[in-house]
Amino acid sequence: MTVDRAILLLSLLLSLPPSAGAALGGPASSVEDDRAHMQAERKSTAAQRYAVHEITTPSGTVVREFVSPDTGKVFAVTWHGPFMPDLRQVLGDHFATFAEGTAGAARRAASVRTPEVVIHSAGHMRAFSGMAYLPGQIPRDVQIEDIR
């Protein structure tokens, strides 16, 4: 990445408003902030290993936020639908890592993998999907394959 491009990216990130909620890595209460921001409907399901909060936007995009019962924090999020959700909202504090890690990447698919966060996003018009998770916060006995 050139210095000019890095400065442009940093300027863009600094000019963005802070996210209203801290979905990924945030407390379970941030799920309601996300629902309100997306003007969406919410359905929650509790299980022994984690709770899933499914947020469906008026446009049909579904965002699922996975909350650990042990920590009360969102350890993973997934999305799929005809429109990309507001990733700044969904990824919370991890959005900057995603933006920096995917600068110059192909628009159809992008991935970022660090010790703290793993983010995959792919799609094309009317068919977007992705997932993000915090490897160090996944509850014991939960496999990545369980997160859908």
pLDDT tens digits, residue range 91-112?
999 999 999 988 876 667 899 9
Strands (E), the chain: 41-46, 51-56, 62-67, 74-81, 109-113, 118-124, 127-133
Give the per-residue pLDDT at 28: 85
Q: Which long-range contacts (CB under 8 A, 24 or more apart) does 139-148 make?
A: 139/49, 139/50, 139/68, 139/69, 139/70, 139/75, 141/49, 142/49, 142/50, 146/49, 147/66, 147/76, 147/78, 148/64, 148/78
**44-77: per-residue pLDDT in tens?**
888 889 999 998 999 999 999 999 999 999 999 9
Amino acid 15: pLDDT? 38
- The count of domains in the chain is 1
Q: What domain range is 14 assigned to?
A: 3-146
Q: 134 is written with which tokens? A: 């915090």
* pLDDT value for 22: 47
